[in-house]
Chains A and B, each alone.
Chain A
Amino acid sequence: GENVEQHPSTLSVQEGDSAVIKCTYSDSASNYFPWYKQELGKRPQLIIDIRSNVGEKKDQRIAVTLNKTAKHFSLHITETQPEDSAVYFCAASSGNTPLVFGKGTRLSVIA
């Protein structure tokens, strides 16, 4: 089955700097890659997703890139703000199988 590895497990950045979180997956049939943000004590919430027919997707300060050959995808947050502090999860699915989540990255944005 699918296996998703996520790095780093913790990340601290200064406010205004960029943050990058990387994930790798094992199943070459995976074609859907969402990212979730979970604030302390809250539910995971979808922030951006990408499908295998696209190499990059942007939404304001966040972007996701996908390299299907290398089987890895990344989340990029630019101009980080304190409210970006949260745990971020990547996930992967082949479409007819459930999402498999990475272990999460705890991002701290230091003001």
Chain B
Amino acid sequence: DAGVIQSPRHEVTEMGQEVTLRCKPISGHNSLFWYRQTMMRGLELLIYFNNNVPIDDSGMPEDRFSAKMPNASFSTLKIQPSEPRDSAVYFCASSPQTGLYGYTFGSGTRLTVV
């Protein structure tokens, strides 16, 4: 298995632009998680899905953030419009179940909003 695949690896965009991050989880994993990592706040859970259904999006910072999982093999995290304070590394992770097993993280997307 290729693991959790994220794209792009790096994204530099101007303030106000729309940003879309993509994730392909490990086949057979039922849970998918989006995390944001910054020096100040560490690893923050933004949203997670079970069987493609969003379960908890209370970590999404603002309405500018949205996430979808149209099928078991694909998820997107969208920021519209982007702001400089959104600059961070965004990780996608997947797991066989929500909290009983360790998560496998993707390589992350380093987002810079200028």
Contacts and interface: CB of A to CB of B under 8 A. Distances in A.
Contacts of A46: 102-104
B100 A32 contact: yes
Contacts of A103: 42
Given A44-B105, A99-B103, A93 B98 contact: yes
A96 B103 contact: no
B25 interface: no
Interface in A67-81: none
Interface in B81-114: 91, 97-108
Contact of B100 (A36, A89, A95, A104): A95
Interface size class of A (residues with CB under 8 A): 20 to 34
A43 B106 contact: yes
A44 B43 contact: yes
A96 B98 contact: yes
B91 A44 contact: yes
Contacts of A44: 43, 91, 105
Interface string A18-52: 00000000000000101010000011111001000
A101 interface: yes
A94 interface: yes
16 contacts: A32-B99, A32-B100, A43-B105, A43-B107, A43-B108, A46-B103, A46-B104, A89-B43, A93-B98, A93-B100, A94-B99, A95-B97, A98-B33, A98-B45, A99-B45, A99-B99
Given A43-B107, A46-B102, A99-B103, 12 more contacts: A34-B103, A36-B102, A43-B106, A44-B91, A46-B104, A93-B98, A96-B98, A97-B99, A98-B45, A98-B56, A101-B42, A104-B42
